[in-house]
């Protein structure tokens, strides 16, 4: 089955096209990305402005067309913290549905954490024992821990790299004082969450997902993406501390020249590094292993599982949490209805 996964994040809109089947390894066929920096467009009243809603709708419309031309049987479309936090989210979602035929669903932070954990568990398998996973997005930080496919603890905190850059590091470069202040604040903010995660049990494997962690690992010497997803990559706390002292003195333009740092990630990589460092410190982790699978793969795996079991994609546990994971959209039908 060919599936499309459309992910509206704080910084980018991504379309991943995969060939997937129950019990098989999802095979990526193509990936398309547009940088919107949606979280930065929210106005003082908390709304996504009409101009940027128009851009989002145009991008989704374009990507839905790509999904159809790529042969996708279905498109799973979801949005994370930027849309989730907007005060006019329902209005924007209604416009997306009316103008593109795509039923864009908002994914709750806890469900982000759960689905990402599922992907990590499938990647490493049962032999990994208790896994602790960290994921840094543009708007939030997700923490999860467990021995099964459903984590015992799944948390989402408003500590994303983009959010903290806007709120704490407005200068370029950010300056030692602001970096030190953010470090201290993060230690306080993470204390209770870390205690909750560690109460579930000590991890046998500590894992990190997301583009932020992949970039940080690359900057500290991990293999480039060209080496493939199965090459082991790690990030150490000591390497991270050294990296922060280096990149926090650089301008955004200079950071964008570093290998492994894209132009859209360069403005927020310092904040991302500080969140990673503080999280590892709070959880007493010296090393994390970088997992190539994350939220999008978790959604694909959950869909395949639910169809094989004859159930709806929304699981009982997630329904009880009060948020819908995703609403499956038949691409051809929805695009046809639009026309």
Tokens of 296: 């999008």
For the chain, domains (ranges, CATH) are 2-107+295-338 (3.30.420.40), 110-290 (3.30.420.150)
* Eight-state DSSP code of residue 162: H
Any idea of the CA torsion for 297, 303, 306, 310, to the nearest 10 degrees? -150
Q: What is the pTM (predicted TM-score) of this model?
A: 0.89
* Amino acid 22: pLDDT: 84
Residues 6+ apart with CB under 8 A from 112: 80, 135, 137, 140, 142, 156, 295
Q: Are 17 and 27 in contact (CB under 8 A)?
A: no
* Amino acid 218: pLDDT: 97
Q: Are 117 and 146 in contact (CB under 8 A)?
A: yes
The pLDDT averaged over each successive group of 10 residues in the chain (339 residues) is 94 94 89 92 92 97 97 95 94 97 95 97 97 97 98 98 96 96 98 98 98 97 93 98 97 96 93 99 99 96 80 39 33 49
* Amino acid 158: pLDDT: 96
Q: Are 60 and 34 in contact (CB under 8 A)?
A: no
Task: Give the chain's end-to-end CA distance (angstroms, integer).
Answer: 25
């Amino acid at each position: 089955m060919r599936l499309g996964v459309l992910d509206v994040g704080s910084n980018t809109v991504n379309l991943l096209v995969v060939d997937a089947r129950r019990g098989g390894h999802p095979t990526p066929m193509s990936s398309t990305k547009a940088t919107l920096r949606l979280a930065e467009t929210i106005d003082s009243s908390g709304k996504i402005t009409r101009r940027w809603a128009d851009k989002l709708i145009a991008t989704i419309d374009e990507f839905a067309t790509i999904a159809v031309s790529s042969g996708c049987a279905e498109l799973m479309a979801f949005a994370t913290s930027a849309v989730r936090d907007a005060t006019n989210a329902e209005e924007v979602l209604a416009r997306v549905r009316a103008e593109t035929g795509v039923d864009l669903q908002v994914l709750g932070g806890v469900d982000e954490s759960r689905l990402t954990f599922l992907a990590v568990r499938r990647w490493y398998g049962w032999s990994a024992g208790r896994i602790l996973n960290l994921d840094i997005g543009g708007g939030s930080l997700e923490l999860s821990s467990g021995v099964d496919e459903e984590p015992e603890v799944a948390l989402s905190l408003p500590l994303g790299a983009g959010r903290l850059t806007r709120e704490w590091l407005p200068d370029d470069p950010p300056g030692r004082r602001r970096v030190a202040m953010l470090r201290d604040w993060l230690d306080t903010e993470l204390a209770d969450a870390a205690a909750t995660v560690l109460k579930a049990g000590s991890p046998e494997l500590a894992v990190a997902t997301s583009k932020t962690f992949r970039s940080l690992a690359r900057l500290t010497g991990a293999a480039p993406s060209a080496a493939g997803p199965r090459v082991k990559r790690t990030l150490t706390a000591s390497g991270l501390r050294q990296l922060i002292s280096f990149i926090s003195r650089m301008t955004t333009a200079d950071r964008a020249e570093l290998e492994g740092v894209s132009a859209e990630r360069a403005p927020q990589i310092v904040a991302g590094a500080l969140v990673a460092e503080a999280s590892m410190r709070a959880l007493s982790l010296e090393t994390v292993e970088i997992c190539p699978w994350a939220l999008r793969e978790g959604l694909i795996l959950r869909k395949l599982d639910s169809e094989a079991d004859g159930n709806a994609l929304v699981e009982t546990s997630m329904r009880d949490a009060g948020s819908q994971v995703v609403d499956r959209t038949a691409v051809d039908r929805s695009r046809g209805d639009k026309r």
